[in-house]
Amino acid sequence: MEEYNREIRSVSFTLKLPSVVRLLQMIKRPKSPVRFSRQNIYARDRYQCQYCGSKYASEELTYDHVIPKSKGGRTQWRTS
């Protein structure tokens, strides 16, 4: 085991600071859902107009370029 010269001290013991720490068990963090913000919607659709298929800069896009849910628009992210 590799150690640094520095020591870690507690009230009852002292140990050398390890240079590598090995986890014995994987700790899985829950995935946070992606928020549906204006920029995330544009990124999801690859900055492409959903009506004409043309690509635009994010400054040129508006919500007019997004198909609403009531008209069959998706509320999930592309997987491809």
Q: 56 lies in which domain range?
A: 38-71
DSSP-derived letter for residue 9 is E
Residue 17's nearest CA partner among 9, 6, 25 is: 6
Residue 26 lies in a domain: no
Residue 6 lies in a domain: no
Cα gap 24→40, rounded to integer Å: 37
Cα gap 21→39, rounded to integer Å: 39
Task: For 40-68, write each residue's pLDDT tens digit.
Answer: 888 888 888 877 788 888 888 876 656 66
Residue 50's nearest CA partner among 70, 29, 68, 35 is: 68
| Domains in the chain, number | 1
For residues 48 and 62, the answer to whether their CB atoms sit within 8 Å is no
Tell me the residue length of the chain: 80
pLDDT of residue 39: 84
Residue 63 lies in a domain: yes
Residue 60 lies in a domain: yes
Residue 17 lies in a domain: no
Residue 79 lies in a domain: no
Q: What is the mean pLDDT of the chain?
A: 80
Residue 7 lies in a domain: no
Residue 18 has pLDDT above 80, yes or no: yes
Residue 25 has pLDDT above 80, yes or no: yes
